[in-house]
Chain A
């Protein structure tokens, strides 16, 4: 079962880049790494997914080293509206899609 570990919280300022690292030492060969964002009183929503190297979309980048034992979500030039909890999720296909979340990282963006 691929378990994830993230920092509990991070503070940043508007316009800065925020990098959140997730550790997943037991990741399996076929697992993908997916990141979600959750605002208060809402369900999490998908941000980005990757398997290896680097993936970029309109809101974030995901860096995955060759050993895939960690991944880093990068949010460029954050704004106040990026204040949220960010979760890293690693798919566990061996258990038939038993998708369990870690504790998440609470990001606070200050003016």
Chain B
């Protein structure tokens, strides 16, 4: 069974502090994604990766960094957290849809509150 695990599931951070959200997948997928979800905006792509060592900017990368140290792990880093980054963050993994991979698999989400 494909699995994407996010930690922590809930986080309260202080403004200006550093926050790291972690994601681990056991699917052996090349591609991993970080999204944020806010009411009225659906899912918005922050950063993504094609494999270990690679990170790419998504649609809303400002204020975020990403790190992919291995095939399994993909982190999202907020160096200086701000209240506007309060949101629910989802990690996902997937692979080539035209080569037998059906879908993108999602983690259960991390609720981040910046106070």
Partners in one complex: no
